[in-house]
Structure formats: C-alpha cells, structure tokens
Amino acid sequence: MNKGNRFSIIIIIVVGILLYSSAGVSADLAVQWYDEWNGVTFFEEGDKVGWVDRETGFRQEAVFDSVDPLDETYFIISIQERYGIESRSGLVSVDPVWFAVYPSADFGHDNIVLLYSDSQEAAVDLRSGKTIRTVPTSERLRGFYGGYALLRKPGGQWDVIDTEGQVVRSFTADEATLSIDHYLLTCDEEGYSLTYIDGTPVNRVPLAYASEMNEGTAVIEAEAEDGLFRLGLLDQHGNITLLPPEITSPGDQVSNGRLCFENDGHYGFLDLEGRVVIEPVWDYALPFSDGFALVRTGRLYGFIDTDGQIMLPVEQDGAAPFSNGRAVIEKDGVPNIIDTHFDSLLDDGHPFDTVFAADLNNSLYIACLRGSGKTYYITERGSLICPYVPSENDVGDVDDD
C-alpha cells in the first residue's frame, strides 16, 4: 500500500532526526521501542513489528512485516504482502489474506474498510464486524461517503448502496461520482448531470461539463444567450451563474466559498457570485483548505487567506496544502510542519530529510531519517511511532479504477 500524499502536485518535504526510547530492553534481544502514541507503544524485533497496549496490558508479539495505524484503535497488519486489520487489543477484525486494505473516505465516523483480492472486493464495518457487501472484481465499490457508496456494474449499470448494503437507487451512466455531501455526478452521451442522492435532479438539462458538487456548488460549462459556451457555477437549487468570458480555465473545486481560476496564465479566486475577490497575480494556486490557499510565484510558495492576504511569505522552497489544521513546508532545505497560526511544530535540528502526510491516518506523517534511507510514521511534533514499509500494492489506484 502506498500511503503517500494524494496531492500529486505537492512538493517534497521535510526531515530530521529523532531521538526515541529503548529503555528497559536488553540489547541482545535486538528490540527497538518507539515513542508512546495514544497509549500504544510499537516495537521492532528483528525485521518484524509488534506493539503493547499500555491501557490494557495486551502485548502483540512482533510477527508482522508492517503495521499501519488506521486510527488509535485499528491497525492494518501485513504478513508476506497480505493485509488484514487487528485492533490495538489483539482482536483480529480482518484476516491478513487481502492484497489491499483501504479505509472509507469517512472512516473516522463509519469505521468502514474496503478489501481487495484477486477475485472479489468487500466492504466491512469494523465496529459491528459485519460484511456490508461482497462483489466480484467485475464490479467495483466506490466510497463510502457519509453513509453511501457507489457500486459500478458491467454495462454502465450503477447502484447507490447504504451502510447496510441495501440498494437506495439504481441508474445507468457511463461514469458516476458521489460527493461527500451526497450529490451524484453522472456522465453519459447526453452530457453531465447532478442529482441528489434520491435521484432528484439539480440541473434541468444535461450540461457540456460539470464538476462534483462541493459546498453546494459545482463548476459547469453551459450555453449562454449568444449561443457560445461559457463556464459557470451551478448551486444546489439549480441556479446557474455564468462567469466572465475572460475566465478561461477555473479550478474544479469550490472551497471556503472561493473558486480558484486561471486567466492568461495567472491564478486568482472568485466568490460564489462569480466576482473576482483575489486578483490573478499568482503563477500557480490551489483551492483553499482550512481557510488558506497554497500559492506560488516563480519557484517559491506561500499561503494566503480568503481575502488574499499573505499569511506565510512566498519564500518557501516547497509546500503542501493544509489538511486537518497542518501543512508541510520546506525552506532553505529545512522541512517543517506548521499549524494554522503558522507556527513550526517540529523542533530545530530534527533528523528528517523528507516528510509528507500519511494517506491512511490523518494525524500522522511519514518521514525518512536523514542518512538512513528508512521511513517511519511520526507525529506532527516529530515523535517516532513505528516503521513505515512501502508496498508495491497501490490501494489508492485500486479504489479509483
């Protein structure tokens, strides 16, 4: 499983060296202990990984090739490139027989995981232990988002299913995407359509183009009164606001009430009325997240707020967008993690030469120890949690096929 940052454009980052504890362990046992994290301490014995639950006293012997924390309760375990899930107290929720395991988009609320093998896919609710749905590989599960998922079938047939595995509705489309706020985007030979989860249409006629609905707004392409197609915004009530003709290439995601757009090779931001609120002065920009947008001038990066004020000087050699109130930056070859006050979270002199966000656990990061070539899960403060072992199986690609 590749657990790299999903923001593919993002820059590399960070690293430094971390001190971690090995107290109380005999050196001849070749056991390496890591920092305690949420009441759990991981350790390596030889090239295997185990852990101790400090709250219950449970000790999982070091028998796994890798352990990837999904959250403070569930860990993805692997043995010989086969993956499963075990709780911190030793309850095996999913046997390690799958070639990929991935959490739902809303895992923090629903505790649903998607499992992949050569012959089938399955969705499992870890809290109840119930298998929600199992399908052959000729079909494909997508989601869950807020209690719903898409099931793609052969021949352009689709189902929307809930967390009980029940079909909410069925439809036909060449392609379909379910957004986190329960809007369904479909595409067929007639064009793009947006509907509510129950099938009620948002747009009255198919569109030449439409993005996913986010914050109740989608980016579309529609015919204007002059017969020419213009870019615009579609709200959740079906109202369309056409954008000025000079807006030639806007972004596809509304966030924090702003839409990133491009005009003559420069990037700025519109509000939801289509008004330019941040002039296109940046060589590159990304949508807002956590109230801040990543911008670039030349080869240097910084952050602005929704009014266009520079919050972090455009002097960073590299940066990634904010997520969960933190972002990774690099300046003068020194990486760091910052919070929304733009304070550094890693101490000066830390030992990592690369740091990036963990795809499986939003509270952790992945870092490479300088000079070692070894990668580890770390906290935003740089505590070493456990080894990170990349895999040839990219579950993100599996999920998106």
The fold of 27-400 is Methanol Dehydrogenase; Chain A (2.140.10)
Distance CA(345)–CA(318), nearest Å, equals: 16
Q: Around 4, how many Cα atoms within 13 Å sit in the side-chain half-sphere?
A: 16
pLDDT at position 244, please? 85
Inter-CA distances, 338 with 257, 351, 361, 365, 386, Å: 23, 17, 18, 12, 22
Beta bridge pairs of residue 149: 143, 161
What are the pLDDT tens digits along the chain (401 aa)?
A: 443 333 333 333 333 323 333 333 334 458 999 999 999 999 999 999 999 999 999 999 999 999 999 999 999 999 999 999 999 999 999 999 999 999 998 899 999 999 999 999 999 999 999 999 999 999 999 989 889 999 999 999 999 999 999 999 999 999 999 988 889 999 999 999 999 998 999 998 999 999 999 999 999 998 887 888 889 999 999 999 998 888 888 788 899 999 999 998 999 999 999 999 999 999 999 999 999 999 999 999 999 999 999 999 999 999 999 999 999 999 998 899 999 999 999 999 999 999 999 989 989 999 999 988 899 999 999 999 999 998 765 444 444 44
| 28, amino acid identity | D
pLDDT at position 1, please? 44
pLDDT at position 321, please? 97
Beta bridge pairs of residue 254: 259
pLDDT at position 392, please? 67
pLDDT at position 393, please? 59
pLDDT at position 298, please? 97
Other C-beta atoms lying within 10 Å of the C-beta of residue 241: 16
pLDDT at position 343, please? 97
Chain centroid to CA 14: 19
Domain spans of the chain, in order of start: 27-400
The set of residues, in sequence order, having a beta carbon less than 8 Å from that of 396 and lying 6+ positions away, is: 2, 6, 102, 359
